[in-house]
Structure 1
Amino acid sequence: MGYTMPGSGVVTRMSRRLLDTRTAGGQLVGAIAPRRVHTVDVAGRVGVPEDAAAVLLNVAVTGVSSVGHLRVFAGGTPVPGTSTLNYAPGRDKANASVVRLGTDGSIALWSDTGTPVHVVLDVVGWVAGGAAVVSTTPTRVVDTRIGLGWDRPFGPESRALTLRGVGPVPADATAVVVNLAAVGPTDVGNLRLGPWLAGAVPRTSSVNFIVGRDVANQAVVGLGPDGRIVVHGDMFPATRAHVVIDVVGYVHAAEPVPEPDPDPVYATGPMADLGFRPFPADDPWNTRVDGADVDPGSAVLIASIGASDRLHMDFGADWDGGPFGIPYVVVGPDQPRVAVTFDYDDESDPGPYPVPPDAPIEGGAASGGDRHVLVVDAGTRTLYELYAAYPQPDGSWHAGSGAVFDLVNGTTRPAGWTSADAAGLPILPGLVRYEEVAAGRIDHALRFTVAQTRRAYVAPARHFASSNPSDSLPPMGMQVRLRAGFDISGFPYQARVILQAMKDYGLILADNGSDWYVSGTPDARWDDDQLNTLKTVPGSEFEVVEMGDVTTG
């Protein structure tokens, strides 16, 4: 883990990705060669201040084909004799580490192995000034095997755990050092730790496990404002794992520590990295469907969309001279609220909305299409969405319809109400975003459209947009998934990540449009050649997830 001297400040936050050698455009691209020093700049990146003395990291390796270990150390210093992470073929491995920064603000990587290995680094905090790290006698606070802390094993869920003022952790603690173990897991999965921030789910794992194998790891975890951390289980619906947590240290403020930026999860601006998954873990957008039953009418419904028609990514890096897709913008809490008027005001949430005068519009300012405008308020974690949005000379906006969603607790529209989408659903949670594909995982369902829908809807949808009552047509809100047996191994990286999400979380029908069109954000970093390989996937490779009650008009 390393150490920090008393008097050094430790600031912890939700994780931000610093390096992923699997993705293009980073500091290091491609698996790192063994027995060579590879330098990674840290200070001044992903929120780490220029004067940071050390960085708190989650270090992971993947694509391992031989036994070895990874050493992570201060840039510009000799290679140390001890390892940060030991690994074996065929197994991804993660570990937490406190790494001192070199005089130029960098760290270095060195692997001792027979073959190159991919490395992923996530920043969970840094060492500055004004705090102290204290080691304690290990104190067990959770053991689900005996009912300590929680009385049942973990499944795919999030739980809050109060640690400030518990056991050796004092009332002024700002973070804790814990040993986390997954015991007796029944299938593959991972456990994630982070500060409790209104239920936000940590994006990176602290412990990865496979069936039947106990795995432990150490982590430095920031305490939320109320002294709690969140423990999140990312696993299949039927998977269970016992959890053991031991407190082995804590961080407390020796003098006032400057607060990080007002909301450490958010950056601001168009297509800014959200830093969290919208809506609760049990929201339909965030619920895995790979283990759900197939709907009895699946074959008929797939045929009505087009069994021989192909997938189409309705987003990318270059169309008509620039990136295309459905954009969004993240604003700070000081963004002025402006009046919004609606054509369908009886089914729209009233303003004012925090829409900037230059908010990005789907299709561009001169577009005659859907003209969606999506705004995330960083201060309140609230999503504002508009359909057919037009800025007005006085600074207000006019739109066809609008909806407001609580990104922390979730929001269900009244039955029969539209939103900025025909199905009465939010748009943002279903978009394919570049940063999550670059991180190697999409953990939510995707938004898609078809040309002909039924005069009906099924949860989570709340609205239909058709006059055709035929049972052979799909209702709004219908969810499909890619067949488990469809081989995705030959697809390029970006396409493969998207296809895996289609298997795990599926796609939710949200609007009338072209058949099998999938929505995402415009971003110049997309590789259109990779995305275009998805056009080879036919509709026949999909199946309809069993639907609940269907509401008809």
Structure 2
Amino acid sequence: MTPLYRLAAALLVATGTLAAPAPAPAAPAATPAACTPAWGSYGPGNWPPACWRPFEATSPFNTPIPANPRLMAQSSAIVGRVLGDISARDYVGHLTADPAGHGGEPTYYAQPGDPVFRVDCVEYGGNFTIDGLLVPIPAQAAPEGGWSAPATADRHLTVVDQATGWSYDMWQVRGTGLPAPGGTLQISFGGRSRIVGDCAGVPADGTNCEPPGGGVGHGTAAHFAGLAGRVRAEELVAGRIDHALNIVIDCDNGTAVYPARGKGRPCANPLNAPPMGALLQLDMTRAEIDALPVQEWKKVFLRAMAEYGMYFGDTGSRNLFSIEIESGNQYTAFGQADPWLKYGKDNWEPYTEGGVTSYVAKLYGRTGDPNPQLDWMAVVWSNLRVLDPCVAARTC
């Protein structure tokens, strides 16, 4: 996916240290009051439940799409291009659950007593919003792909400080493990965003509080927060994704629309390519999705695509149409069972390579469906459309 260093030009320098932890901010307004365990207590074995959502109810990621939304003028042409050469290999990329837990991007929830590390952004002169800040990180935390991942890999790491309400997104976390407590953690790029309260999800670089409710930060090329639209295992197990999806497409048209603040990798031919931040929606009713002769886990994704839509948040998917998810190593790092692996075994297709069996979620696949001869994704994608940015901004 697009390296986070592409965001550097839009950021300002911010150095210093964090203030002493304050009482934990209230849970996001998007979270039901009865949702337990409660915000502030998340940690190993006490993971955020399916009913929890980051950011406020007014975030574009948490706002259902209204009836009869306005379409982008070139909606049909963009859909044709996305499902053509831009995503030529597969319409929906492989969501993978593997024994090592490396199938997504990990999120960790800091608690009192966790060690604190000074962040050192080593690229572009350290001109990033978290360069020099002190960030609490659980000692067992490991980045995307684990500590053995190649240095050139994404090695994403998201840390949520529940005491302050800040979420930290880091790209290319360096080293073979966290340094000693109080040491320096080197990364190639990073930023932070509010996850609860006023300006939730917006950068800490002096920009205004737009969009309402949050979801914008420094986690992707679009400047979306890492948690914005990221699917969690708890949601899949519960059978409902109560927010928009964050999708990765191979390239964009070189422009960005609301709520994106940044651009990714441009297509060699930008004609009818989607702008970064584009909101795609599956124009199907709940009843139409429920009636599809496909496995139930596929309908969980489709319902979210229809109710909340999909925001184009990053590029570099190698011609796949990919959905951002969390990873298994955020659980196994603490010696806990990986819910992604169990969900994969129960629902997805096994794939064995080098003696290791992983489980692949092929949303476009037919194996396991009641009618494997039906090209049901052709029916689904015929109802895909691109909405005008005013829909996300709630100005039309």
Instruction: State the 1:397 CA deviation.
Output: 1.3
Q: List aligned pairs for 1:338-353, cutoff 5 A.
A: 338-342=117-121, 343-344=123-124, 345-350=126-131, 351-353=133-135
Aligned to 2:55: 279
User: Percent of pairs identical after alignment?
Assistant: 25
| Closer/same/farther in 2, CA of residues 313 and 525 from structure 1, 3 Å limit | farther
Distance in 2 between residues matched to 1:400 and 1:431, nearest whole Å? 22
Scaled by the length of structure 2, the TM-score of the pair is 0.66
Separation in 1 of the partners of 2:322 and 2:46? 21
Which of structures 1 and 2 has the larger relative contact order (alpha carbons within 8 angstroms, sep 6+)?
A: 2
Aligned-partner Cα distance in 2 for 1:429–1:270: 23
Q: How many pairs does the alignment contain? A: 300
Residue type matched to 2:321 in 1?
W
Counting only pairs closer than 5 Å after superposition, residues 258-407 of structure 1 correspond to structure 2 as 266-269=41-44, 272-273=47-48, 276-289=52-65, 291=67, 292-307=69-84, 309=88, 310-318=90-98, 322=101, 324-342=103-121, 343-344=123-124, 345-350=126-131, 351-368=133-150, 369-391=153-175, 393=179, 395-407=183-195
Q: Distance in 1 between matches of 2:290 and 2:146?
A: 34
Contact 2:244 2:304 in 1 (8 A): yes
Cα offset, 1:301, TM superposition = 1.3
Q: Give 1 or 2: higher strand fraction.
A: 1
The answer to whether 1:492 aligns with 2:299 is no
1:116-515 alignment, distance < 5 Å:
197-203=26-32, 266-269=41-44, 272-273=47-48, 276-289=52-65, 291=67, 292-307=69-84, 309=88, 310-318=90-98, 322=101, 324-342=103-121, 343-344=123-124, 345-350=126-131, 351-368=133-150, 369-391=153-175, 393=179, 395-409=183-197, 410-413=200-203, 419-467=218-266, 470-484=270-284, 487-489=289-291, 490-514=293-317, 515=320
CA distance in 2, matches of 1:271, 1:363: 23
Q: CA deviation at 1:496?
A: 1.4
Q: Is the 8 A contact 2:70 2:388 kept in 1?
A: yes
Distance 1:348 1:405, change over 3 A: same
CA distance in structure 2 between the aligned counterparts of 1:502 and 1:406, rounded to whole angstroms? 25
Deviation at 1:480, TM superposition (A): 0.6
| Larger fraction in helix | 2
More displaced stretch, 429-438 vs 498-507: 429-438
Task: Report the AA paired with residue 262 of structure 2.
Answer: H
Deviation at 1:487, TM superposition (A): 3.6
2:321 counterpart of 1:516: yes
**What amino acid does structure 2 have at the position aligned with 1:473?**
A
Contact 1:401 1:419 in 2 (8 A): no
Distance in 1 (CA, whole Å) between partners of 2:224 and 2:308 is 16
Who is 1:532 aligned against?
361
Q: Please give the per-residue CA displacement for 1:175-201, whole angstroms capped at 9, x wherever unaligned.
A: xxxxxxxxxxxxxxxxxxxxx935443
Max Rg structure: 1
CA distance in 1, matches of 2:265, 2:313: 13
Query: Distance between the aligned counterparts of 2:129 and 2:45, measured in 1?
Result: 24
| Structure 2 contact 136–161 (Cα < 8 Å) conserved | yes
Q: Is the 8 A contact 2:93 2:362 kept in 1?
A: no
Distance 1:341 1:271, change over 3 A: farther
Residues 199 and 419 (structure 1), Cα distance of their counterparts in 2 relative to 1, 3 Å cut? closer
Change beyond 3 A, Cα 1:347–1:463: farther
Kindly state the Cα deviation for residue 338 of structure 1 after the two structures are TM-superposed: 1.0
1:271 deviates by 9.0
Query: What is the distance in 2 between the residues matched to 1:330 and 1:270?
Result: 11
- Supply the AA of the counterpart residue of 1:462: R
Quick check: 1:450–1:512 contact (8 Å CA) kept in 2? yes
**C-alpha RMSD of the superposition:** 3.4
TM-score where L is the length of structure 1: 0.49
Q: CA deviation at 1:502?
A: 0.8
Shift of 1:466: 3.3
8 Å Cα contact 1:329/1:360 also seen in 2: no
Task: Give the letter aligned to residue 286 of structure 1.
Answer: N
> Which residue matches 2:388?
546
1: distance between equivalents of 2:45 and 2:229?
17
Contact 1:270-1:329 at 8 Å conserved across structures: no
How far the C-alpha of 1:352 sits from its partner, in A, is: 1.6
Residue segments in structure 2 that go unaligned for 5+ positions in a row: 1-24, 208-215, 328-339, 349-359, 366-376, 392-396
Mark the CA change 1:202 to 1:355 in structure 2 (over 3 Å): closer, same or farther: closer
Query: CA 1:304–1:446 in structure 2 vs 1: closer, same or farther (change >3 Å)?
Result: same
